[in-house]
Amino acid sequence: MPPDEAELVADNLVEADLRGIDSHGTNLLALYVSRLESGHLRPTTAVSVVRDDGSTVVLDGGLGFGQVAGRHAIDLAVDRGRAHGVAAVAVRESTHLGALATYTERAAHAGIFAMAFQNGPTIVPPFGGLTPLMSTNPFSYAVPAGDEPPIVYDVATTTVAGNKIILAKKRGDATIPSGWANDDAGRPTTDTAAASVHHLQWFGGHKGYGIALLVELLAGVLAGSCFGHTEHTASLLHGADRIAKGYVFLTLDVDRFVPVAEFRRQVDALIRDVHAGERAVGVEAVLVPGELEYRRRAERLRAGIPLSVPLIDEIDGLARAAGVAPLR
């Protein structure tokens, strides 16, 4: 890979680990390397413009790294949001973005209210079904604050991201929390071995499923990307000729609605109201989205990122194969 693109992807993975999103950190390195080696992921990311109408832009991610095309797309969405008040940048023929918060938070730091939607391989059945149709279809939003860190919401529309099940299997955990996944027959299970990454549960049942469909409609159908049973979205777990993902970044220039300084003060006030309210029994702190990751990032910058032994072994295997110094 070109060194600057490799650095951007590496930063993205380490940033996810720092924030405690271990499922989207260096845990993904082996998958990315195998997809580079199999030719499913192109080492150089050539982003091209499909259509540019000012406040709306459609890009082609060239089946290179989502992190590289994604950085380009969010920066464009911020610029266009500022120029037009509201903007949408859609990207087709791209791949995994990693944690969506990376992109929305970047926009929030620039004073922009941002939303991100990404679809992906067909691994999760519609609510009540058994035939996979969509991905874990993540959704994120981020909002600039003043003295407080920005509010950053970033979730898969399934109860957890599929990588959390893969990580639990990799760690050898005996059980997973209830509500994460079903077995192959669609029965809820807490047995890690029986849990199927093809039968993740939607958060909030039919409600999360409806949001997942919104992500599919925006990031898949509207972006002109793959969706549903399109052959190119075939599960990356089963192998596919080509695995494309689509995404959409929506941006709002806060200053067009209320003066941005006032908005930041009001968001701070809202965050402080959240903190100041009474807590339920056993709850240490009432938080806004993003706060947990913000705190964890500070802690991990100080104390380091804990990596499991199997993950260290995996990274060291890749390092030795590439002639790079292993971690231990």
289 lines the binding site for ligand NAD (CB under 6 A): yes
Binding to ligand NAD in span 193-232, by CB under 6 A: none
What is the distance between the alpha carbons of residues 43 and 33, in angstroms, rounded to a whole number? 10
Smaller CB distance to ligand NAD: residue 137 or 251? 137
Q: What are the DSSP calls for 239-286, one per residue?
A: --S---EEEEEEEEEGGGTS-HHHHHHHHHHHHHHHHHSPPPTT-S--
Q: Can you spell out the DSSP letters for 212-232?
A: HHHHIIIIIIITT---TT-GG
From the CB of 291, what's the least distance to ligand NAD, in Å? 6
Per-residue tokens: 323:
């002639």
- Stretches 35-43, 136-144, 214-222, 318-326: which one binds ligand NAD (CB under 6 A)? 136-144
Handedness of CA 290, 294, 295, 300 (dihedral sign): positive
Q: Is 4 helix (H, G, I), strand (E, B) or coil?
A: helix
Residue 290 binds ligand NAD, judged by CB under 6 A: yes
Question: CB of residue 208 vs ligand NAD: minimum separation in angstroms?
Answer: 10
Site string for ligand NAD, 4-43 (x = CB under 6 A): -----------------x-xx-------------------
Which of 64, 138, 149, 246 binds ligand NAD (CB under 6 A)? It is: 138
Number of residues forming the site for ligand NAD (CB under 6 A) = 28
Neighbours of 282 (CB within 10 A): 5
Instruction: Compute the 3-state secondary structure of the chain and give helix, strand, coil in percent, each to the nearest 5.
Output: 40, 15, 40
Q: Which of residues 78-107 bind ligand NAD (CB under 6 A)?
A: 96-101
Closest CA to 286 of 296, 272, 300, 297: 272
Can residue 73 be called a binding residue for ligand NAD (CB under 6 A)? no
Nearer Cβ to ligand NAD (100/271): 100
- Choices 71-79, 133-141, 176-184, 265-273; region in contact with ligand NAD by CB under 6 A: 133-141
Longest dimension (CA), the chain: 55
Residues of this chain that bind ligand NAD (CB under 6 A)? 21, 23-24, 96-101, 118, 120, 136, 138, 140, 152-156, 160-161, 164, 287-290, 292-293
